[in-house]
Structure 1
Amino acid sequence: MFKMSTNTRKGPIFDPGVCRCCGAIKKCRLLNVEYEWQGRKEIYSDMFVDCFGLLLSHLDGEAEEHLICATCVSRLREASCFRQQVLQCEEKLLRTKIHDEGDPNDVKIETSVKEEININLELDYPDDTDHIDIDTEEMKVEPVNKHKRKLRQKLKSNKKRKEEKKEDELTKEMLYNAQRLNDKLKEMQDLELPDKSTQSHKLNGYKTNENAKSFHNIVTIVENSYACPFDTSFSDYFCVYCRQVFTDPNKLREHSMTHDPTTFKDVLSNSSSNKKVQIDTFRIDCRNCSENIQHLEQFKEHITNCHAKLYYSDSNEFLKFRLTSGSLSCTECGASFSFFHALKKHMAEHFGTCICDICGAHYFEERMLILHQKTHQRVEESFACKECGKSFKSKYTRYIHIARTHKKEAAYQCNKCDELFFSYTLRYRHMIEIHGEERTFQCEQCDRAYDSRKSLREHNRRFHLKILKHQCDLCDKRFYLPSRLKEHMASHTGERNFRCEYCGKSYPRLRGLKVHMQSHSSEKKYKCALCNASFTQNVNLKNHIKRQHQAMDLEENYHE
């Protein structure tokens, strides 16, 4: 939505507007409207024609289609001034040439001796002409004319030297200004946005020339070092080139090495996401030489001093991480986190520009801030299902409910095949079992490993952190889950609430019932390693080994 405020002195101003020339979103003016600047009238579309012979199109359409920002106006004025300077110098040069060539025709040869002498009196004679006696009546016309020609030639040569000197000074000034303009044009080319096909350039959120410096810096880092750009979804890492998912950052880095880093510029330019670029600086050695580099600041100095690469020190619009397989540390303050999702949420406190006015929480994206601000509202917004009337906290959860319950449609699609699933968990298992994704999460405290981060987190809380919030009122036992406490209470009351639907046998705990249910299964998945016997329950297999193979073990031990 464009807002327009009129200034009677300068003309209409659009704030904000999209600049037709650079794509920046800022205060803009109209290209085809007359403005006043330093007492002079200027129409920017006409200046384009005068300076570059460029006739801009679509100047009769909507106002937002032909705007120009103040930065581009100043560049256009500079180009226009440079053009006028060149024209003025050309005009001076032509006048000088015409004057020099016209002197011989303008010379009036005087024949009167008296007039000739009067002319000579007005001239500034050189030292070698001081002996001339102007009162001598015997002076002849011919010597006087000869002397006059010599003086005229000398004056002409002096004038020519002055003109040449002045011309040299103008030439030097022109060359200096041309060099300045060339440097500025080069800088503009360095900052030129890759995609020129649209008016509003989107380089992963980099829309202005100032932010294009950051775009240039990011591409320079990726192309000239072993730093690894990546995307994330919660705590999963994605390859930015092919979207393959990883849980181990070492494997992510190893995989990224198979891609050409020069293609990252196109990946970044074509990205429709406005998320900040994330770069893993675990290894940031130089690709151009064998220099080992420890940190990003050292790389910046090396790439500019040793390889003459351009790097803008005043721009740093990306998130810097140092990914490790174990705990993760913040590169700014050193705080440790078990999962990347928690680390990134913490990084918003350092670099998030979307801040809640109520509690001061920081976010990278405005949509996340809007969702957060809803938690401060007294009346919580709910979204009701039109089919059954059930309420949900978000449109997304309502959509999943409708897809699963009413439409019987799967809402989660595998990104490697066309199969659909009703839940994230089912797709998660599918990726492991069918596509062979390695998703094992090793506990740092023991040798247990899990196939999901949630299971690992539950394990840490239960066994290592001992977060047992649910305590029995009748004894000192504590439990991690309320369901475990409820099962435990049966040991005090004698209740046996878990009953088998096949035989009616009851148990005080759910685990006891689950073990019992195996006896009703026809599948004998517990097989003896010493013979061909198989059983439906693990306890039956153990009893079998004790009864049938215990004597064999004793006999082997006896022979030893």
Structure 2
Amino acid sequence: MSANNRKGPIIDPGLCRCCGALKKCRLLNVEYEWQGQKEIYSDMFVDCFGLLLSHLEGAPVERLICATCVCRLREASAFRQQVLRCEELLLKAKIYLHNDDGESKDDIKLELDVKEEKESIMEPLEDDHDISDDITNDIDDVIEVPTRRTRSSGKKKTMKTSKRKSKSIDKKKVTPRGVMAKMQRMNEKIKFEEDIIPQQMETPNVKSIDSDMMAYENTVTIVESSYVCPFDTSFSDYYCVYCRHHFTDPNKLREHTMDHDPTTYKDLPHKKIVQIDILRIDCRLCPKRIDSIDDLKGHITNAHEKFLHPNMTNEFLKFRLNLGRLSCTECEKSFTFFHALKKHMAEHFGTCICDICGAHYFQERMLLLHQKTHQRTDENYPCKECGKMFKSKHNRYLHIARTHRKEPAYPCAKCDEVLFSYTLRYRHMIEVHGDVRLFQCEQCDRTYNSRKSLREHNRRFHLKIFKHQCDLCDKRFYLPSRLREHMSSHSGERNFRCEYCGKSYPRLRGLKVHMQSHSAEKKFKCTACNAAFTQNFNLKNHIKRQHQSLEVEEGYHG
């Protein structure tokens, strides 16, 4: 698994100026970092095509480019750099060949003339010849000058030129030892260029793309050949990768996934972060029982002749899903929820790292959201209708949709229903689509239908996280509302008043109990008088005050 760090603003969605598509876009004239290199796309257009784009100083929506067009622009820029490097190499080779140290100007003229005569009798080279072939041919021209000149049957002008060249050669006295030395120097230069130039011409993203594809191909082979269970998640909910069916119990997820054909996994959309449950790794092609991914790789390649790309590790994120606590497969650290475990796994394999605090993430968009927390916290988004301030555009959008437009904003993933809140959608999934959501407390026998309720229960009754303390006594409370109610016991205030009889109470809980006396049936009746009460506790107090001689048990007539 590999990911490229990208630094720069992202507009989602935006209209690309190059292809007209509505996608996630970047700004044309803003500097981005890719593969450790800085790039400005408007400058790349000028360098590659001589195109000076207009309206680059306007609003951000007027100067956008999508990721597809960025990739095509990078390819064009890489090809341009390749051509320039080859051209530079060719020029250096020609200069080295014809202007070596120790040669005189007459020798340079001699070799140039001989090369012209050579080209007149040789067939033209193909378009895709190598630079090293040109250099070797030039060496052959210099070595074979005496022989080919004597065999030449050209025109008189060519013969006269050859006579002048022979006199110059006699003056230089080219010896076989000198020719061999020059050949050795040229061979060394050719070998150096063959080793260095391909490395310089290699595009920077080839290795990462090949690594991602090889990792994905290995993952497909492993899924098809074993009982590992690929899955998707949304926070702490599990989804089948084949049909998007939702589960909260990983055992039911594994049982359901067995009904799908694993060979169709390669036809699914390719995601960089692949999550695999490895609680069961046994071979699907034979009865062999296997305990680790490394043993599985060796087994399917040796016993079943499956091909796996070598030297590939951590092709996917490995989990052992259980209904209770979840443990990290790398360090055995345990977590209550999958969302917390996946966030922890980024510390082992996340390649998107925050420059400020060192936090790790799998996806660049999550890193960008995190980096906003290091920026100014006073940035608010006001509602134009009522002036209420929000910390994000998304929260403002939900507020406007629900409060002002009266529009639902929470769509159901299984039908066309759109609901007004997350809670209503949650209830809709349970009541309409039959989603089973039961979360058992590990400390007691209580069961809840949401993780939030279970989390609140653990903090309140087991962890006893009471952050709100009274300034006048030592009592602490879990909720700030309970602290406010408690403060009335010190001040004597009775702010909670019944709207039917005017009786007041210092706490809201007392008022709610009292309100039942106006709405509920008064089952607890006194045998000595006509008084009736909604709670047995109130009946007992009545008997103690008014009828002390009667037994409490005799006062209830059901």
Query: TM-score category by the smaller chain?
Result: 0.5 to 0.7
What residue number does 1:419 align with? 417
The answer for unaligned runs of 5 or more in structure 1 is: 8-15, 41-76, 85-205, 527-534, 553-560
Match of 2:499 in 1: 501
Q: Is 1:223–2:224 an aligned residue pair?
A: yes
Residues 27 and 307 of structure 1, relative CA distance in 2, 3 Å threshold = farther
Partners of 1:335 and 1:258 lie apart in 2 by: 32
Report deviation, 1:314.
2.8
1:306 alignment counterpart: 303
Distance 1:414 1:538 in 2: 43
Give the count of matched residue pairs.
369
Q: Supply the distance in 1 between the matched residues of 2:228 and 2:129 (Cα, whole angstroms).
A: 44
Residue type matched to 2:283 in 1?
Answer: C
Out of 404, 410, 413, the position equivalent to 1:406 is: 404
Alignment of 1:172-251 (within 5 A): 208-251=209-252
Against the structure 1 CA distance between its residues 380 and 476, is the aligned structure 2 distance closer, same or farther, given a 3 Å change threshold? closer
Higher relative contact order (CA 8 A, sep 6+): 2
1:107 match: none
Structure 1 partner of 2:78 = 28
Q: 1:38 Cα shift?
A: 7.3
Q: Give the aligned partner of residue 121 of structure 2.
A: none
> For residue 486 of structure 1, what is the aligned residue in structure 2?
484
Task: Give 1:536 deviation, angstroms.
Answer: 11
Are 2:212 and 2:272, in contact at CA under 8 Å, matched by a contact in 1?
A: no
Following superposition, the deviation at residue 213 of structure 1 comes to: 0.4
Query: 404-413 vs 313-322, which deviates more?
Result: 313-322
The change in CA–CA distance for 1:352 and 1:319 in structure 2 (over 3 A counts) is same
- C-alpha contact (below 8 Å) 2:278/2:318 kept by paired residues: yes
Corresponding position of 1:258: 259
Per the TM alignment, residue 513 of structure 1 is displaced from its structure 2 partner at its CA by 2.2
Superposition pairs for residues 446-461 of structure 1, below 5 Å? 446-461=444-459
Q: What one-letter code is carried by the residue in structure 1 that aligns with 2:217?
A: H
SS at match of 1:402: helix
For the Cα contact (< 8 Å) 1:374–1:380, is it kept in 2? no
Alpha-carbon distance between aligned partners in 2 of 1:227 and 1:476, rounded to the nearest angstrom = 54
Q: Report the counterpart of residue 277 of structure 2 in structure 1.
A: 280
Contact 1:217–1:311, Cα closer than 8 Å, also in 2: yes
Tell me which residue corresponds to 1:467: 465
Distance in 1, matches of 2:554 and 2:310, equals 77
CA distance in 2 between counterparts of 1:227 and 1:338 reads 22
Return the alpha-carbon distance in structure 2 between the equivalents of residues 389 and 459 of structure 1.
Answer: 36
| Runs of 5+ unmatched residues, structure 2 | 1-27, 29-40, 49-67, 92-125, 134-206, 524-531, 541-551
Taking a change above 3 Å as real, the CA distance of residues 525 and 283 of structure 1, as seen in their structure-2 partners, is farther
Q: Secondary structure at the match of 1:503?
A: coil
* Deviation (angstroms), 1:396: 0.8
Determine the structure 2 residue equivalent to 1:268: 269
Letter in 2 for 1:261: P
Which residue in 1 is equivalent to 2:334? 336
Q: Match of 1:230, SS?
A: strand
* Deviation for aligned residue 1:388: 2.1
Are residues 251 and 525 of structure 1, via their aligned partners in 2, closer, same or farther at CA, if it must alter by over 3 Å?
A: farther
Per-residue Cα deviation, 1:11-52 (whole angstroms, up to 9, x for no partner): xxxxx99888xx997973169979559759xxxxxxxxxxxx
Specify the SS of the correspondent of 2:396: helix
- TM-score w.r.t. the length of structure 2 is 0.59
Q: Match for residue 323 of structure 1? A: 321
The separation in 2 between residues aligned to 1:28 and 1:288, in whole angstroms, is 45
Aligned-partner Cα distance in 1 for 2:326–2:522: 41
Cα deviation for residue 451 of structure 1 reads 0.7
Equivalent residues of 1:353, 1:363 under 8 A apart? yes
CA contact 2:533–2:539 (8 Å) conserved in 1 = no
Residue 410 of structure 1: how far off its partner (Å): 0.3
Change beyond 3 A, Cα 1:331–1:25: farther
Q: Is the 8 A contact 1:24 1:208 kept in 2?
A: no
Partners of 2:217 and 2:287 in 1: how far apart? 23
Separation in structure 1 between the aligned mates of residue 74 and residue 281 of structure 2, nearest angstrom: 32
Q: 1:313 to 1:481 in 2, by over 3 A?
A: farther
For the residues of structure 2 that align with 1:389 and 1:450, how far apart are their CA atoms? 38
Separation in 2 of the partners of 1:19 and 1:377?
Answer: 30
One-letter amino acid of the structure 1 residue matched with residue 488 of structure 2? A
Instruction: Return the TM-score normalized by structure 1.
Output: 0.58
Instruction: Quote the Cα distance in structure 2 between the aligned partners of 1:363 and 1:397.
Output: 24
Write out per-residue CA displacement over residues 465-497 of structure 1, whole angstroms, 9 at most, x where no aligned residue: 111122233333222112122222333333322
| 2: CA distance, partners of 1:18 / 1:288 | 43
| DSSP 3-state at the match of 2:268 | helix
CA drift at 1:512: 2.4
Residue 499 of structure 1 and its aligned partner are, at CA, apart by 1.9
CA distance in 2, matches of 1:525, 1:323: 51
Distance 1:352 1:537, change over 3 A: farther
Percent of counterpart pairs with the same letter? 65
Distance in structure 2 (CA, Å) of the matches to 1:505 and 1:336 = 52
Larger radius of gyration: 1
Aligned partners of 1:19, 1:443: CA distance in 2, in Å?
50
User: 1:377 is aligned with what amino acid?
Assistant: Q
User: Partners of 1:458 and 1:346 in 2: how far apart?
Assistant: 22
**Letter aligned with residue 432 of structure 2:** I
- Work out which of the residue numbers 345, 348, 355 in structure 1 matches 2:346: 348
Distance 2:296 2:522 in 1: 58
Kindly state the Cα deviation for residue 400 of structure 1 after the two structures are TM-superposed.
0.4
- In structure 2, give the amino acid aligned to 1:295: S
The residue type equivalent to 2:249 in the other structure is D
Q: What amino acid is aligned across from residue 258 of structure 1 in structure 2?
A: D
Cα distance in 2 for partners of 1:541, 1:231 equals: 55
Deviations 1:160-210 (A, max 9, x none): xxxxxxxxxxxxxxxxxxxxxxxxxxxxxxxxxxxxxxxxxxxxxx98233
| Structure-2 change in CA distance of 1:239 and 1:309 (3 Å) | same
For 1:475 and 1:464, locate their aligned partners in 2 and report how far apart those are by CA, in whole Å.
Answer: 23
Displacement of 1:442 in angstroms is 0.1
Say which SS state the counterpart of residue 373 (structure 2) adopts. Answer: helix
Task: Quote the residue 1:65 is aligned against.
Answer: none
Partner residue, 2:292 = 295
8 A contact 1:235–1:341 mirrored in 2: yes
Query: Which position in structure 2 is the counterpart of 1:88?
Result: none
